[in-house]
Amino acid sequence: MVLDEQVKLMALDAWFKTPQGQHVAEAFTSELKKSDGALSGRRLLQLGVCGDNSWLSALHFRQKWLVSPMPSVACSVTCISSVLALPVARNSIDCVLAPLTLEACSRNKHPLDEIDRVLKPMGYVIILGVNPWSFWGAACHLQRACFAKNRATLRSSLSVKHALLNRGYRQCFLSSFYYIPPIKQEKIIHKLEFLNQMGKMIWPYPAGFYCFIAQKYDPCMLPLQMQQQDLYLARA
């Protein structure tokens, strides 16, 4: 991973410990709870460390691994590695969770291919991202949110959807949420909590974040012997 991408993920870990980041983490947790236990399995792999990673409690997996290019003080990192070159076997993970991870990677170097490599067939990928056309997207462009003074690479939910569908995935869930602007003062954040309810009803401006969940499908390849039998019957 390029050095500036390491710095971005480190900044993300620190940001989730701030009042602003903790409030967004609560929104992430609430959104993932909508899966209502549908996402479950043996191994979950999260790319990057985000404070105390509170949303992991909403996902029912026996093993939850954290991969980060740097160690974290707040929690135990399972493996210190680049998210672009995971030391994980092919087709070995039931679910890959990427909270704001794509924003930390450059446009030409993103972890979607690596996610596809380690994910099992019928496994799930969860992308939590910033809406580029929201107030949060503008704040990221101005280097005033999430990644501190580092510029984020924003991707819309539509572009992420197309990238995964082209890799053979199927959409399971897509939602936009969190209508509170990128304000840092904790008191003001709580006062503006009503915007999350108003946004769902009248949608005065785009939501700040999106949650996209897709399932990996692999084409079913018949054994060579069965293919030869079918070919013989077709010629008969």
- Percent of the chain at pLDDT > 70 equals 89
pLDDT band at 234 (very low <50, low <70, confident <90, very high): very low
Q: How confident is the model at residue 71 (pLDDT cuts 50, 70, 90)?
A: confident
| Span 88-109, average pLDDT | 92
**Chain-wide mean pLDDT for the chain?**
86
C-alpha to C-alpha distance for 103 and 99, rounded to whole angstroms: 9
Nearest CA-CA partner of 109 in 214, 8, 215, 210: 8
Q: Which of 4-18, 131-145, 176-190 has the lowest mean pLDDT?
A: 4-18
Token look-up 């076997």 returns 89
| pLDDT value for 151 | 82
pLDDT for the residue 62:
94
Mean pLDDT of 24-30: 96
Residue pair 167/127 in contact (Cβ under 8 Å)? The answer is no
pLDDT at 115: 96
CA distance 24 to 180: 9
Q: Is the pLDDT of residue 227 over 50?
A: no
pLDDT at residue 78, as a whole number: 87
Q: From CA 71, how far away is CA 66, in angstroms rounded?
A: 10
Query: For residue 84, with 0-12 CB atoms within 10 Å meaning exposed, 13-18 middle and 19 or more buried, which class applies?
Result: middle
- The 3-state DSSP class for residue 203 equals coil
As beta bridge partners, residue 95 has 44, 124
Could you tell me the fold of the domain covering 3-235? Rossmann fold (3.40.50)
- Quote the CA–CA distance of 32 and 27 in Å, as a whole number: 9
| pLDDT > 80? residue 112 | yes
Residue 36: the pLDDT is 72
Confidence of residue 235 (pLDDT cuts 50, 70, 90): very low
pLDDT at 189 exceeding the cut of 50 = yes
> pLDDT tens-digit profile of 126-156?
999 999 999 999 999 888 888 877 888 999 9
Element (H, E) at 94: strand 93-99
Residues in CB range of 187: below 8 A, 6 or more apart: none
pTM for the model: 0.88
Q: Is 93 helix (H, G, I), strand (E, B) or coil?
A: strand
Nearest to 117 by CA among 167, 161, 160: 167
